[in-house]
Structure 1
Amino acid sequence: MPRVTTLLRKSYKAIHDFDLLKALQSEIRHEQSSNHFQDNQSGSLGDFVLDWDSPQSQDVVLRKKCESGEEVAVSALLGPETYEGESSFPREALMKVCIKKPGLSSILQFDCGAFGKGDNGSDFAIHNAYYIPSSTCLDSSIYKGPSFSSLDPNLQDELKNYLVSKGIEGMFTNFILLHLHRKEQGQYVKWLHKLEEMVAVAPSE
């Protein structure tokens, strides 16, 4: 046990010697003063409502019911960095869009990616489109349809227009991207504050 105590004291001293606390405080100030996502960027939920948005989670879930009775659910979280030089957002948002028609148990599911554009706007692309016979039938072995890229280009365009008609358009994807990036930044700053508190109470000797 004395050996462990000595090791801990040496570790705490190393923390102070390397000015870790100052580095953390500098990073916190930088994050709080930086306007990563410009104020002139805007987004709108449209008719969607936030159904899930836990401060501890990385994802969000949104839902809406169309006048036609169709139910639309969207789950989204940040994906990898886009590496797009003109992108207004460093990362894309991965979205699953599920549409259920009234009176039917089948679901149309679209796997999409929302990304920023150079004009501070955003767009989305469909990566996959599935037909799921029932919400209780999610077996991965069930054939869900051909790969989206193999579909006729005109059909691909019409499916994207179909999603746009259900509210998956520029202002909506802007909201998703802004909300998820700001959420991630807030979680990062909160983590930095917790680390700062731990380092601040560490004994220097």
Structure 2
Amino acid sequence: MSKVLKLVKKSKKALGESSLVKVLQSEIRHELSNDLYKNERGSLGDFVIDWDSSQSRDIMMRKKCESGEEVAISALLGDETFLGDVGYPKEAEMKVCVKKTGLSSILQFDCKVVDEGQDKVDFHIQNAFYLKWPTNLSSSVYRGPEFRDLDPDLQQELKHYLISKGIGESFSNFLLHYLHKKEQNQYINWLQNLEALAAKS
């Protein structure tokens, strides 16, 4: 009787693993055939991707402007990974740092890249900081007023400043699609690893 029970248990386990492998294969096929980001829109412009690890959610880009400034950007998708029936998250977090040659300070902008619908992707500045370099992150250091409290004309001029550095609609569009594609590739890779493990066991 114990041999029969062992055989039944083994059969159930094998069926469960076989079903898991089939479901994983189906999900992989679905992701590969529904590549929402294969037709990337927008342009990276003069920026180069400085760092992009398959083990990380974020990317880093930089460029040197003709005027001598260095612009560095780090970005990642917003915290929400799926919005139910609405689709994928429409926002990314972007940090922009601008440094002038010969100066020991940087301008840092915390921005949100937003898909506003009808193929329009834009960015909005959340905060702007003037920081001494090397940066002192002490809480007692005055980092400036809340961005929303600044004069609206100054807010607009700061946005135009970033646009003049190459961070416009085309760049924002590229960035959002690139980050989505990166996340999708990571998901497919995770599924494939899981499938290999389930098939092996």
TM-score (norm 1): 0.84
* Correspondence for 1:68: 67
Question: How do 1:80-99 and structure 2 match up within 5 A?
Answer: 80-81=79-80, 90-99=89-98
1:1-205 residue pairs with structure 2 within 5 A? 12-13=13-14, 15-16=16-17, 19-37=19-37, 39=39, 41-81=40-80, 90-202=89-201
Take 2:181 and 2:121, find their aligned partners in 1: how far apart are those partners?
A: 16
User: Kindly tell me: are residues 171 and 123 of structure 1, through their superposed partners in 2, closer, same or farther at Cα, counting changes over 3 Å?
Assistant: same
Check the 8 A contact 1:92/1:115 in 2, yes or no.
yes
Deviation string, structure 1 residues 33-79 (Cα, Å, up to 9, x no partner): 0032362x412111111111112211111111111101110001111
The SS at the match of 2:123 is: strand
Amino acid at match of 1:137: N
CA offsets, 1:144-192, max 9 Å, x none?
1011111111111111111101111011111111111101000100000
Q: Distance in 2 between matches of 1:141 and 1:71?
A: 27
- Relative to structure 1, the CA distance from residue 180 to residue 166 in structure 2 (aligned partners, 3 Å threshold; closer, same or farther) is same
Point out the more displaced range, 179-188 or 48-57. Answer: 48-57
> C-alpha separation between the residues in 2 aligned to 1:14 and 1:147?
59
Q: What is the root-mean-square deviation in Å for CA atoms of aligned residues?
A: 2.6
Aligned in 2, Cα 1:52/1:129: closer, same or farther, shift over 3 Å?
same
Percent identity, please.
56
Output the TM-score relative to the length of structure 2: 0.86
Matching residue of 1:3: none
Note closer, same or farther for the CA distance 1:174–1:89 as it changes in structure 2 (3 Å cut).
farther
Q: In structure 1, what is the Cα distance between the partners aligned to 2:165 and 2:196?
A: 46
Aligned length, in residue pairs: 192
The CA deviation at 1:105 is 0.6
Measured in 2, the distance between the counterparts of 1:199 and 1:15 equals 10
Gaps of 5+ in 2: 1-5
Q: Which runs of 5+ in 1 are unaligned?
A: 1-5
Encode CA deviations 1:98-148: one digit per residue, 9 max, x unaligned.
Answer: 001121111100000111132223100001111102234333431110111
Other structure's SS at 1:80 match: coil
Q: In the superposition, relative to structure 1, how do residues 172 and 88 fare at CA in structure 2: closer, same or farther (>3 Å)? A: farther
**CA apart distance, 1:90:** 2.4
